[in-house]
Amino acid sequence: MNSCVAAMRVDRFLSNLAQFNRKQVRLLLVERRVSVDGVIVSDPHHDVREFSRVCVDDNVLQAGKPALYFMLHKPQGCVSATSDPQHPTVLDLLNEPDKADLHIAGRLDFNTTGLMLITNDGQWSRRLTQPTTKLPKVYLVATEQAIGAEYTTTFAAGLYFAFEDLTTQPAELELLGPTTARLSIIEGRYHQVKRMFGHFNNKVISLHRERMGPLELDAALAPGEYRPLTLEEILQV
């Protein structure tokens, strides 16, 4: 799956082609004969990506494939994977060509519901999911037992996970009812939410992701439904 292709400098991209040597590439750029996505470029550092359309004069050197971005309302009972021998996957819910190029930005457990973002743009998905960007992931949580006020303090301070030998980054908990809360976390470690509540021996009975960074689940999407992201939504990340 070719989901995380990095950008390449335009001079390097051209030099890698058999028809141009480095001297010719420098001349092409100086003479402003190179265009990327319809814009003339002369800067050798200009980025070329797998989605870029690259031309010299009127000759198309790379047509560029379309960048795809989808929002899915993940239902219970499907796997956050591109393929699975036993269970339906989130990609099975998409009626799209070229599904092999798609990957999931921020997986959810088998029975966790809510916002799932699916794309073929690896740079975009990394900005959304990497803890360094500090984009919050917001969940609605329902538990078996009452959620105490001490949870808020403990989550804000961070919890130590012995398996990974790390302390979680501060998380924000908003109590909504005796056994319901809204939790905002920056990371998304293995079963993190369930493990955080497990610290208090309180079982999570339902988990629903409402938001990832600036992107909120569209209320019009029923479980199992999806739609393309708008340009405005894509540019927010």
Candidates 47, 92, 109, 218; catalytic one: 109
Residue type, 112: T
Q: What is the SS3 string spanning 18-77?
A: CCCCHHHHHHHHHCCCEEECCEEECCCCCEECCCCCEEECCEEEECCCCCCEEEEEECCC
**Distance in angstroms (rounded) separating the CA atoms of residues 164 and 184:** 21
Q: How many other C-beta atoms are found inside a 10 Å radius of the C-beta of residue 81?
A: 15
* Active site (annotated) includes residue 47: no
Residues 236, 69: Cα–Cα separation, whole Å: 13
Q: Is 39 exposed, middle or buried (0-12, 13-18, 19+ CB in 10 A)?
A: exposed
Catalytic residues: 109
